[in-house]
Structure 1
Amino acid sequence: MKQITMLGLLTASLFSVSANAEVIEIATFKLNEGVSVEEFAPLDKAVEMQHVSQQPGFISREAAHGENGEWLVVVHWETIEDADASMNSFMTAEAAKEFMSHLDANTMSMKRYTK
């Protein structure tokens, strides 16, 4: 009986942790034709500093560029709710307008993972 109770507590604890687990958000996209890394990098940093890092639950963000105008952005959030709230506010954020105007939205992909 005691073993069943411990298993139940462990299971409940695991579900509680996963509901509030850290979220890793990974976005990939390509820049619009003719947009250089040198032109886009300051816009990427501005969107990080002026919007993303100011959102509740923000932990960290890093961005990197690859070949042919490809970009990778990794953002860590405290909870899925924090990630959702940030995404919902992103498109109306002033800093995001310039950022979004320089990338090909059709190439954007975003995935989320929990720790």
Structure 2
Amino acid sequence: MSTVETVRFKLVPGTDTSDFEALDRKVENDYMAKRPGFLAREVSRSDDGEYLVIVHWATPEDADATMRGFFAAAETQDFLAAVDKTTVQSGRYARVAH
């Protein structure tokens, strides 16, 4: 059964959204998409500047393995520096088959 992770956050005040969205694409292409079990990733932004990231994984173990290395990976540091850590909210869900 596949796993869906969600992360909601805002940016550090003063961060340019265009610059951040370039960093986000880089994180997806250079880090996330290269991890075992990665299936897909979607990023959306609300009118008030909150981002919603949805990541689909083959298994919960794949998600765990990727996230264990995420905060220390060289490819994620600029992305992480732009995220206001006090606003981060995350969740994990088992995909329901239809």
Contiguous gaps of at least 5 residues in structure 2: none
In the aligned structure 1, how far is the partner of 2:71 from the partner of 2:91? 17
TM-score, structure 1 as length reference: 0.79
Q: Which residue of 1 aligns with 2:14?
A: 34
After TM superposition, give the deviation of residue 66 of structure 1 in Å. 1.4
Deviations 1:21-66 (A, max 9, x none): 1000010000010112112100000000010111100000011111
Q: Which residue of 2 aligns with 1:72?
A: 52
Amino acid at match of 1:99: F
Would you say the 8 A contact 1:44–1:99 is kept in 2?
yes
Q: Which residue of 1 aligns with 2:93?
A: 113
Contiguous gaps of at least 5 residues in structure 1: 1-20
Q: Alpha carbon RMSD of aligned pairs, Å?
A: 0.8
Match of 2:41 among 61, 65, 68: 61
Q: How many residues align?
A: 95
Deviations 1:90-112 (A, max 9, x none): 01111110000011011111101
Which of the pair is proportionally richer in helix? 1
Q: Percent identity?
A: 38
TM-score, structure 2 as length reference: 0.93
Amino acid at match of 1:77: W
**Which of the pair has the greater relative contact order for Cα pairs under 8 Å at 6+ separation?**
2
Amino acid at match of 2:15: V
Match of 2:23 among 36, 43, 59: 43
